[in-house]
Amino acid sequence: MNKLSPLHDKIYCALSGSAADAQTIAEIVNYQLDVHSTEIGEDPQVRSAATLVRNISYKYKEELSAHLIVAGWDRRDGGQVFATLNGLLTRQPFAIGGSGSSYVYGFVDAEYRRGMSKEECQQFVVNTLSLAMNRDGSSGGVAYIVTIDEQGTEEKVILGNDLPTFVDQ
């Protein structure tokens, strides 16, 4: 299942938690963002998309069980990542979520550096996903990566056997 859902040309979100809840939120925000961007006559900001997601997550906090990470590129602030867990909106240099994320907190804390190049960052993301998939029973299969920058959006799928391997006991 592809857990990366487009909210706009240069804004994507990553779904976790209940798949149904997360997909529904993404579809609603996709629609709201279309309306908003028509109203303002230009591409929406990543912050706007994240705010729309957060509004739904917060309002229906008791009924929903999903965490969406919103990331994208806009002309005003460049590349941005927002976490919307439980209705809190925070901008972060990077964000991880989902059941497999607990296992890689240490790894991402140690390995993330500001100012990485595009290729370094893609490698960092692939390594992180691979380590988490190794340990988490609910994660696995293939890795979907979407890279968004000024030039455009690039979607990539990395199959299981192409993922990096680490020391296995």
Partner 1 sequence: MEKRCADARVKGVSTGTTILAAIFDGGVVIGSDSRASMGGEYVSSKTINKVIQVHDRIFCCMAGSLADAQAVTKAAKFHLSFHSVQMETPPLVVAAASILRELCYKNKEELQAGFITAGWDKKKGPQVYVVSLGGMLISQPVTIGGSGSTYIYGYVDAKYKPNMSRDECLQFATNALALAMGRDNVSGGVAHLVVITETGAEHVVVPGDKLPKFHDE
Q: Are 10 and 150 in contact (CB under 8 A)?
A: no
Among 103, 145, 146, 153, binds partner 1 (CB under 8 A): 103
Question: Which residues neighbour 31 within 8 Å (Cβ) at sequence distance 6 or greater?
Answer: none
- Provide the 3-class DSSP secondary structure of residue 155: strand
Interface with partner 1, residue 2, by CB under 8 A: no
Among 60, 81, 89, 107, binds partner 1 (CB under 8 A): 107
Among 61, 75, 113, 118, binds partner 1 (CB under 8 A): 113
* Nearer to partner 1 (CB atom), residue 93 or residue 152: 93
Give how far the C-alpha of residue 109 lies from the chain's centroid of Cα atoms, to the nearest Å: 17
Interface with partner 1, residue 93, by CB under 8 A: yes
Among 35, 62, 114, 137, binds partner 1 (CB under 8 A): 114
- Least separation in angstroms between residue 114's CB and partner 1 is 7
- Least separation in angstroms between residue 116's CB and partner 1 is 11
What's the CA gap between 4 and 105, in Å, rounded?
A: 21
Interface with partner 1, residue 128, by CB under 8 A: yes
Interface with partner 1, residue 131, by CB under 8 A: yes
Start-to-end CA distance of the chain, whole Å, equals 29
Contact range with partner 1 by CB under 8 A, out of 4-12, 19-27, 101-109, 154-162: 101-109
Interface with partner 1, residue 127, by CB under 8 A: yes
Task: Give the bridge partners for 155, in sequence order.
Answer: 146
Q: What is the 3-state secondary structure (H, E, C) of 137-153?
A: CCCCCCEEEEEEECCEE
- Give DSSP secondary structure letters for 60-74: TTTT--EEEEEEEEE
Indicate the DSSP class of residue 96: -
By CB under 8 A, name the binding residues for partner 1: 93, 102-114, 127-128, 131-132, 134-135, 166-169
